[in-house]
Structure 1
Amino acid sequence: MAPPKSKHRPNPDDYSDSALPELLFNIAQLKTLVNKHHRVILNYYLRYMSGFDAQLMRNVVMGIQVCPEEESLLMTSFVDTLARLQGKENAERPEFDFQALRLDWFRFQCLTSVNKAALSLKDNENGSLAPAMNGVVVHSKMVDNFQELLIEQTDLSFMCFFYRQFENEFNRCMKNLSQVRYIIAFPVIRGEFLNSTSPFCPEERINIGDRAVNSVNHFLELIAKEVKLVLGQLSSDRMNLDDQLKVANASSYYNQTHAHKLTKKKAVAVQTPSQPGEESYRRTREETVRVDSVLQTLVGLSFSVNCFPSITAWEHTFVPREYLVSHLEDLFMKHVVSMLSYNSETQEIARPSEVLARIESYMASLRTLELYVNIDMTRVLTAVLLQETQPLDSKGESTIASAYTGWYTNTLLKRVAAGGICYSRSRRCFVSKGVHAFKAEEFTDLRELEALAAVIGPYGIRFLGEKLMDQVSGQVKEIKKLVVANQDSLHALHSNRDKPEIYYEVIKKVKSSEDLLARTVIVGIIMAFRKLTLVALNNVLSQRVPFILSSIVDFKQNLPDKTSTVADQMAIAAGVPCDVDPLLYSALRSQCDKSKEDHMIWSLYMVFLGVTLPDLAFKPDSTYLPFFEGHENNAHCLAVAITSLPGAIFAYYGDKEQKDRMKEFLVFTSSRIMTLAKETEKEKDAPKAREAIYLLLDLIVEESPFLTRDLLESCFPYALLRDAYSTVYKNPATTNRKQRDSETPF
């Protein structure tokens, strides 16, 4: 008879239970506990069967009065089998098989179930035999057939035929804040889908197995993505809260407070500025905010992930924590690069100290996950930060090292070369002159470069150095062309150094001297920035790995051969200064060869440089700025360039070549500087920055490891240097008041 038709269609929501995830989770966890303590359960039932069941069966058999011979043999077998279990509870890895006992009981039931049997189980006097033997059968299955009995009692594999409903319940659980802690039950149950297969239909095993594996993988991916999303929200919120505590925000808060006090007298409604930390004030315990719900979701998901260390499905083992590790790496990698706030159109980028503070804040938030999940967060953070020190990460995308390298080499140094920014030796940074929106000192200060070294590490500093050396190599290539173009004149200058009349006539024939000085200044600017990065790296390593750094310094200083460059690569990687930069030496290898012609070209380059350098005294922007300890047009960077380039170039031609060529340069430069006044016929054409060039000559000797003060005094009177220092510091270069105030270091 068909059921009566109803006017109302069944609503699926009427059959859904919001607490279903908790029920499934408890079943899965109870099953896990039973498997974990299987040995305890086995020993319990062995003792139960050998103690209680054996005695019970003995009493039941002795109470049977009429018993045929065949049934009597079977009952005697029951009692003997149970009695032999005595003392086998603590045997190591015992193997029990009660299949024969169960088959004998089945045979016994067949014998007593026939018509007109001599022994009937329905009789009152035999009524206790069947319950006792049924109990023995169940107890025996708990010993030798434990897994099949557990699957039979707790199997939920039938849900594989309700795939859509099961997935909908998973999505509903993900949105239910009170049930999200039980969400791991869904992939656990998916791993049991193969229990629904039958040996009579083997072809469905592959399809169901694939579905089980794909489903477990899909659910674990969704859980890990949800943890990543929630943890990303918490980390971003904490990073924003930490940004409110910046010193730069204190001025805006003061302005808002001051404006509020002024308008308070006029009775104007002004919103009171909020202070950092006000978000933590609660009026009642019941009052919750978005962060509370997000944190509760994180705790629930973390509990769920940590509850089951592994999930098995069709000979595949899934580890939920490993899914979480991969997604956390993607999360941190994605947000680390976004912390730069780089704008390719305006060339704006965050300061390295700001990026370092954001990374530390974000890492502190990510580490809170260790409180809820047994996961090695240090390995995750280290893997990501190590990738950020390379030009490209594991996905082939740009990193912090590549972004900062591109910005410093293509933006900052080009602005320095264009003018308006001066390298300050006293402050050890590049300083913007006058009032500018862009302040170079905010990115080249030693503290900022230390933050940069802490973020990109020695690998990133080396990558930055390689890019800087590529730019130096490009400038050296153009310098070599200028030397070749003036080769004849430079030969004449070198030969007629002791003939003043011919010497000064040849000087007038030298071309492109300003281009040579400009390119050498650019090289000096690049090398000065390179030295700042090495100092910053050395400071960072001295705090983080002082013992390793001291070992490197000791190894370099105590080499048997003092001229050996074996340890230079290791030393420069740790920020330890070397007489010849190994990266510069490698970059200039393509510009130098050991031929006599090439050696002559670079020797003439030193002559060219020594002859043209005093021309800077005729330029008004070559004045010396005492509060910067440098020249206005960055001419003092020539000292770094003249120290670095000959050391790297003439290292190809022998150790003595470096000192000889530097001495020759010093002779040409000093003789030309002392005769500057004689080269001008009118007083108005006299050099305006003669003292500044005197100081530049002294600075070259101070920077060079190949020159000494004694050698300088033999070529240039020290009295002139003393008078130049006195004149420059007593009568500094005059600038307008607004610009002078902005340039003052303090």
Structure 2
Amino acid sequence: MSRHLVPSQQKLAEKLSLMNDRGIGMLTRIYNIKKACGDAKSKPGFLSDKTLESSIKYIVRRFPNIDIKGLQAITQIRNEIIKSLSLYYYTFVDLLDFKDNVCELLTTMDACQVHLDITLNFELTKAYLDLVVTYVTLMVLLSRVEDRKAVLGLFNAAHEMVHNQSDSSFPRLGQMIMDYDPPIKKLSEEFGPHAKLLCTALVSLSQIYFGRNLSAEKWRSDQKLSLVGNPGHLLKPSQTDTMSCEYLSLDAMERWIIFGFMLCHQVLNQERPNKLWIASLESSWVVALFRDEVLYIHSYIQSYFDCMKGYSKRISEVKDCYNQAIQKAALRHRERRKFLRTTLKELGLILTDQPGLLGPKALLIFIGLCFARDEVYWLLRHNDNPPLQKSKGKTTEDLVDRQMPELLFHMEELRVLVRKYSQVMQRYYVQYLAGFDAIALNQMIQNLQVCPEDESSILSSLCNTITNLSVKQVEENELFDFRAIRLDWFRLQAYTTVSKSPLVLAENRDLASLIDTIVFHTKMIDYLDEILVETSDLSIFCFYSKIFEDQFHMCLEFPAQNRYIVAFPLICGHFQSCTHELCPEERHHIRERSLSVVNMFLDEMAKEAKNIITTICDEQCLMSDKLLPKHCAILISQVVNRKKKDKNKKIAPEIAKPGVESYRKTREDLTTMDKLHMALTELCFAINFCSTINVWEYTFAPREYLTQHLENQFAQALGGMVMYTKDTSEIAKPSELFVSVRAYMNVLQTVENYVHIDITRVFNNALLQQTQSMDSHGKTTVAAKYTEWYSEVLLRRVSAGNICFSNNQRAFVSLTAEGTIPFNAEEFSDINELRALAELIGPYGMKLLNETLMWHIAGQVQELKVVSEMASAAGLDCKVDPTLVTALRNQKNEIEEDEHLLACLLMVFVAVSIPKLARNETSFYRASLEGHANNIHCMASAVNNIFGAMFTICNQGDIEDRMKEFLALASSSLLRLGQEADKEVIRNRESVYLLLDQGKPPPVHQTEIRTSISPSSAVKLNTTSMLANYATEIVQESPFLTMDLLESCFPYALIRNAYHAVYKQEHLQS
């Protein structure tokens, strides 16, 4: 057969590349079918239909020879079955085609007598071993698909009912299902002719595998991956004779060895195959099939060897390997992870400081990433699939690694460095290729004794391509593509390792080694992303979702690992690399999974940071609260009591003063706040590690998550610190709230020291919303709560006569004894409190408060109309007919004149009604407060503002004249009050007088008061003084009236005497 085959025409390199890619696609499809059939929710509905249960059992029992006459139950739904199961069925058909192509290719390679050696023709050997293992894995995975017979049988039966004949592929497909159940026996028979080639390829792994499968102690003693172990070689490029083998996955090699020697187990009697076999079996107790599908390999091999005679020794050997694996493997891998944590950290630190070393030391980076990736894979699979029998050692403990996030983080850190400084690496290797590799290759080509035309053209093309490279191409950001070079090298390996090849690659190892190095150098220029996927892809976490999330939460709860937690959302960006174009239907699910997980991780990271910040803020608020003046009373009381202390009494314990928490005896004793700040530092390092995380086509910004959480928390904290309770009418004093808010903001500002976020934006967004009546979440704001409290609680107490507005204190003052009402008005309305309130709610909030008060005032005015209407309804005489008022309201042209007349009448009504106030007991003027007990001194402001507004609206231009009229009328009414003899009528006459002058009262000394008025005339003077108050206040408040005008209407002597009277009266009462 070999005489008829021309190796260069067999396209072995191309076929191996295509078949391996298609094999991964087929694995993906079979994997998804297995998962779907194993899940009751996702499996085809027909397989769970109770009405079809007997038909399915019949199909499985008679498979593959099924008589459709016994399947009448599916006749009505045959079209639906074809539609539903066609994807499954034709996947199995594709698998059959793939099997045929693999067998044909393996046979061709045998016929060509290809020589495989991983250290010589790496790409060819690796592709061959990958194809063998992919094929074996497919058959094993196929045998584990539940309902495979039911799916195929149902589809074929429905197909036969529709088309009156079976599907053309079904006989062979059915036979394949039967032959490969179980699969390993049939596979071993198939590989009988290929055993020699397969064994040769596997044995060539010895040098590489045993050089890789070392203990952590050996790695340390060899200073593996160390840049500083030999400082003299720091700038020298890291390279070996087998560059591609250096970052070959140990996990992949063990799969090759185990599955390969299962197929050609006859050679296990030989020393080298046996050593490889035993070492691989002692390394683990499960072997990966695909993604999270694993095989308990020892029991699987035992069940296979049990049916073979003379294999008792092999069975006991496998059992010994299993015992070794469950006792020692976990510890061995734990120590490796420990070594890799420190080594990768060292690599990251040095390369971050000196990124130029990424050029010469690139190989070390990819070796380190590959080592770490293998250890992560091992831990994931073995943690999820513990040993079938318990071991005597601490296997379970060794399978839980709380420091796994650190290893993942250092892997991600190196990946970030490679991507960030990719141009540094490109410049280095472009110069390396053109300045050294091209020259060395050219000399080696010239020294070849034999070089056929095809091989010569490949070598010449390769040499010319790398010779023409220049740094200028890198500076101009030219896109490099060396895939053709790598494929040509693959072809050259196929041409030069077959039987009777003129140019034998095994005789030119130096050439093979140089080109292998050149290929690695080209990958450093145009293939960096792909080689990162090849050496450090962690998309497997997508299929170990529970472990992935558990590891994340474990890291979140472990402060020492908090800074490494960003590795988890970064890994979500790997998930896209596990998809395959042959299975597009799974892309959507993996994409949604990636996005939801990364969003959850970032949200929980930000939430945890927010919780720590909130705890610190709460503590700072408590400390700020201790510094408030109200807490001085306790300290003052303690000092006073200490001076009066009785020696016989026990000394009261010293009260801790604010700031005592800052005293430290040692630096080692950490307080709760210290621990919180440390945790915050670590977590913020993770959040700040990268500005964006790209997952599929989306970009996530970790800092924005934190910003949003802080903004929401700040807004929530602001609402909580108000402490407004409607039932008890309790609310925080604005000044105290202001202190707490400042303390909260001071802590939030320090967050900028940890993470690059704009905390000012947080303040602006949150505080601006608090000035409105409702925030963006529909919750009541600080402005709304204080507006409600001042208008509904404080002002209602004022209306009830419990509170008076004091002119000299510029605040509302409680008139009742302390405790009678639930708050002291002066503590909420003095200048400091209102200033603090204005700072908190801003101009918009003050406007809201003002508008609410205006609404209440307008509501009071409306009550006058209600009284008029009620009087009319009761049959009382009204000066104005309500019906006429309604009619006049509709006459737009006459409204202005009527309004002016009504305003004038109202003015007269107020002026002549003022003397009535003297009857009221609470109209007494309190000189110490400069206000009346019933707040009638506020009428002066009301009269001037309301009448000013009303006459302005009327637009008659007679405001000053009308106000003069009002003063004349009011003065006349008050003077007439002076002639009254009824004590009830003139009870607080002098206090009412003072309403005409709202200025600063003249100073009246206590001695003057005592001598100027005798007790016998107190009642008369008190009445006069209360009336005089009103006149003075109105003039002082008005911009239109003067004291000269008042003097002409109302003698100032009466006002002066009124002040004397009210001061005297208050002194006597006190």
TM over 0.5: yes
CA contact (8 A) 1:432 1:440 kept: yes
SS in structure 1 at match of 2:559: coil
CA distance in 2, matches of 1:723, 1:663: 24
Q: Which of 903, 915, 919 is the aligned partner of 1:614?
A: 915
What do the CA deviations read for 1:361-411 (whole angstroms, capped 9, x no partner)?
Answer: 100011110001000000001110000100001111111111111111111
Q: Which of 335, 338, 357 is the aligned partner of 2:717?
A: 335
CA contact (8 A) 2:919 2:984 kept: no
Distance 1:452 1:239, change over 3 A: same
CA distance in 1, matches of 2:864, 2:964: 21
TM-score scaled to structure 1, two decimals?
0.80
Distance 1:332 1:735, change over 3 A: farther
1:32 corresponding residue in structure 2:
416
Distance 1:695 1:81, change over 3 A: same
Q: Which of 97, 104, 120 is the aligned partner of 2:481?
A: 97
2:1049 corresponding residue in structure 1:
715
Q: Which of 37, 40, 65 is the aligned partner of 2:449?
A: 65
The answer on 1:281 being equivalent to 2:663 is: yes
1:467 corresponding residue in structure 2:
852
1:478 corresponding residue in structure 2:
863
Q: Which of 8, 16, 21 is the aligned partner of 2:390?
A: 8
What do the CA deviations read for 1:196-225 (whole angstroms, capped 9, x no partner)?
Answer: 112222211111111001100010111011
Q: CA deviation at 1:91?
A: 4.4
Which deviates more, 304-313 or 435-444?
435-444
Q: Which of 702, 724, 733 is the aligned partner of 2:1066?
A: 733
Q: Which amino acid aligns with 1:661?
A: R
Q: Which amino acid aligns with 2:407?
A: L
Distance 1:735 1:204, change over 3 A: farther
CA distance in 2, matches of 1:697, 1:326: 58
Q: CA deviation at 1:651?
A: 1.7
Distance 1:619 1:75, change over 3 A: closer
What do the CA deviations read for 1:658-681 (whole angstroms, capped 9, x no partner)?
Answer: 323322222221112112243336
The answer on 1:139 being equivalent to 2:521 is: yes
1:299 corresponding residue in structure 2:
681
The answer on 1:310 being equivalent to 2:692 is: yes
CA distance in 1, matches of 2:894, 2:642: 72
Q: Percent identity?
A: 41
SS in structure 1 at match of 2:804: strand
Distance 1:190 1:308, change over 3 A: same
Distance 1:652 1:216, change over 3 A: same
CA distance in 2, matches of 1:365, 1:684: 63
2:743 corresponding residue in structure 1:
361
CA distance in 2, matches of 1:684, 1:359: 53
Q: CA deviation at 1:482?
A: 5.7
2:969 corresponding residue in structure 1:
668
Q: Which amino acid aligns with 2:605?
A: I
Which deviates more, 280-289 or 368-377?
280-289
Q: Which of 451, 464, 486 is the aligned partner of 2:836?
A: 451
CA distance in 1, matches of 2:939, 2:517: 99
Distance 1:129 1:427, change over 3 A: same
Q: Which amino acid aligns with 1:693?
A: L
CA contact (8 A) 2:986 2:1023 kept: no
Q: CA deviation at 1:138?
A: 1.4
Distance 1:726 1:7, change over 3 A: closer
Structure 2: segments with no counterpart, 5+ residues: 1-300, 303-317, 323-387, 880-892, 990-1021
Larger radius of gyration: 2
Q: Which amino acid aligns with 2:846?
A: I
CA distance in 1, matches of 2:781, 2:1057: 51
CA contact (8 A) 2:772 2:781 kept: yes
2:940 corresponding residue in structure 1:
639
The answer on 1:414 being equivalent to 2:796 is: yes
The answer on 1:724 being equivalent to 2:1058 is: yes
Q: CA deviation at 1:89?
A: 5.0
Q: CA deviation at 1:684?
A: 9.7
The answer on 1:212 being equivalent to 2:594 is: yes
What do the CA deviations read for 1:27-67 (whole angstroms, capped 9, x no partner)?
Answer: 11111111111111111111010011112112222222233
Which deviates more, 387-396 or 76-85?
76-85
Q: CA deviation at 1:78?
A: 2.7
2:351 corresponding residue in structure 1:
none
1:678 corresponding residue in structure 2:
979
The answer on 1:50 being equivalent to 2:434 is: yes
Which deviates more, 212-221 or 83-92?
83-92
CA distance in 2, matches of 1:136, 1:214: 42
CA contact (8 A) 1:50 1:83 kept: yes
2:781 corresponding residue in structure 1:
399
CA contact (8 A) 1:121 1:130 kept: yes
The answer on 1:628 being equivalent to 2:1010 is: no
2:231 corresponding residue in structure 1:
none
CA distance in 1, matches of 2:748, 2:656: 27
CA contact (8 A) 1:613 1:669 kept: yes
Which deviates more, 399-408 or 662-671?
662-671
What do the CA deviations read for 1:130-158 (whole angstroms, capped 9, x no partner)?
Answer: 00011111111222222212221221111
Question: Within 5 Å, which residues of 2 pair with 1:299-698?
Answer: 299-437=681-819, 438-480=823-865, 594-680=895-981, 687=989, 688-698=1022-1032
CA distance in 2, matches of 1:625, 1:708: 25
The answer on 1:702 being equivalent to 2:702 is: no
CA contact (8 A) 2:427 2:471 kept: no
CA contact (8 A) 1:416 1:422 kept: yes
Q: Which amino acid aligns with 1:204?
A: E
Q: Which amino acid aligns with 2:477?
A: R
Structure 1: segments with no counterpart, 5+ residues: 488-508, 513-591, 738-746
Q: CA deviation at 1:615?
A: 2.2
SS in structure 1 at match of 2:736: helix
What do the CA deviations read for 1:167-190 (whole angstroms, capped 9, x no partner)?
Answer: 111111011111000101001001
Q: Which of 390, 402, 405 is the aligned partner of 1:21?
A: 405
Higher relative contact order (CA 8 A, sep 6+): 1
1:83 corresponding residue in structure 2:
467
Q: CA deviation at 1:90?
A: 4.8
SS in structure 1 at match of 2:812: strand
CA distance in 2, matches of 1:89, 1:677: 107
CA distance in 1, matches of 2:572, 2:650: 65
CA distance in 2, matches of 1:662, 1:622: 24
CA contact (8 A) 1:594 1:653 kept: no
CA contact (8 A) 1:616 1:689 kept: no
SS in structure 2 at match of 1:317: strand
Question: Within 5 Å, which residues of 2 pair with 1:259-274?
Answer: 259=641, 265-266=647-648, 268=650, 270-274=652-656
Aligned CA-pair RMSD: 2.7
CA contact (8 A) 1:260 1:272 kept: no
Which deviates more, 4-13 or 176-185?
4-13
SS in structure 2 at match of 1:268: coil
Q: Which amino acid aligns with 1:714?
A: S
1:107 corresponding residue in structure 2:
491
CA contact (8 A) 2:896 2:954 kept: no
CA distance in 2, matches of 1:593, 1:387: 45
CA distance in 2, matches of 1:698, 1:30: 84
Q: CA deviation at 1:435?
A: 2.9
What do the CA deviations read for 1:102-155 (whole angstroms, capped 9, x no partner)?
Answer: 2322222222122122221112xx220000011111111222222212221221
1:242 corresponding residue in structure 2:
624
CA contact (8 A) 1:224 1:323 kept: yes
CA distance in 1, matches of 2:851, 2:589: 56
The answer on 1:116 being equivalent to 2:500 is: yes
Q: CA deviation at 1:295?
A: 1.0
What do the CA deviations read for 1:511-557 (whole angstroms, capped 9, x no partner)?
Answer: 99xxxxxxxxxxxxxxxxxxxxxxxxxxxxxxxxxxxxxxxxxxxxx
SS in structure 2 at match of 1:617: helix
CA distance in 2, matches of 1:191, 1:468: 57
